Copies of this chain bind each other. A is one copy, B any other.
Amino acid sequence: MTSAAPTFVPPAAAPLPGTPGRLSADIGAALEGRIRNGDYAPGARLPTEMGLAEEFGVSRAVVREAVARLKADGLVESRQGSGMTVAQRPASGSFKLPAEARSAESLSHIFELRALVETGAAELAAKRRSSAHLATMYAALQGMGEAVRMGADGAEDDDAFHQAIAAATGNPEIRRFIDFLSGQFSESRRPTWDAQGHASGRARAAQAEHERIYAAIAAGDSMAARQAASRHLYQAASRVGAAPEPPIPDTNEETNHG
């Protein structure tokens, strides 16, 4: 193997054309592709670092850096002395949303997932809310009301309100996931609002929806809380231009519950 007689240099792996922006990133993507494609089966041994370095035509440091990302993502494990192996359950460690190429369709999908979780959270919050949670929600509600009167958007209190609902579920995983999802929108929502000028009738409408959610949770009416949250979130989606197909899921419709 070490007989690196450069006779003809087999084009095993092209030098990765395109943007040579980040060498280790490219190689990491290539390896991830092989793993997800099944080229490297779960539990199987990967080639050695030196082997990969030779194959890709880079130094061992680059390979190590690329593999470091895969290890962080839980796709690859390594033990000193032994080798590197593909994790038994690849891509199970963390959930990621498409960071780039956020098409309007993709955005609406993410928003729908958020609506799904937050409506359920509102239902749970109505069942389990404590007085402390209610106080936090009420404070955020008043903050938003004041912001509307002063012409601001009150985005900060809006976040606080939704986070208080999430916390009122008593389920830290639900709370963390809602935090995670709402964080995905903080770049796209604010500019839209600001571009619309200062808080207009939209903000007042949103405020009315917030008050309806709060009233339902305070009253312990879980179904009303779900309905109010659903209406609010789908309207928020349309405000940001990411409305899914059904504007409002008609929870009230007179279907036969047979």
Interface residues of A, Cβ cutoff 8 Å to B: 24, 61, 64-65, 68-69, 71-73, 89, 92-97, 99, 106, 109-110, 112-113, 116-117, 119-121, 123-124, 127-128, 171-174, 176-177, 180, 183-184, 186, 221-224, 244-246, 249, 251-252, 255-258
Contact = CB atoms under 8 A, between A and B. Distances in A.
Contacts of A93: 96, 99
Task: Pick from A92, A121, A222, A256 the residue with the most CB of B within 10 Å.
Answer: A92
A95 B94 contact: yes
Task: Pick from A121, A177, A184, A244 the residue with the most CB of B within 10 Å.
Answer: A177
Contact of A117 (B116, B123, B258): B116
Contacts of A120: 116-117, 119-120
Contacts of A65: 64-65, 68
Interface of A is mostly: helix
Closest 5 pairs (CB-CB, A-B): A116-B120, A94-B94, A68-B68, A72-B72, A69-B72
B255 A173 contact: no
Given A68-B72, A221-B257, A257-B221, A113 B246 contact: no
Contacts of A245: 128
A113 B171 contact: yes
Q: Chain copies in the assembly?
A: 2
A184 to B, nearest CB: 7
A65 to B, nearest CB: 5
Contacts of A117: 113, 116-117, 120
Contacts of A172: 109
Contacts of A24: 68
Contacts of A121: 116
Given A92-B184, A177-B95, A223-B257, A246 B61 contact: no
Nearest to A22: B80
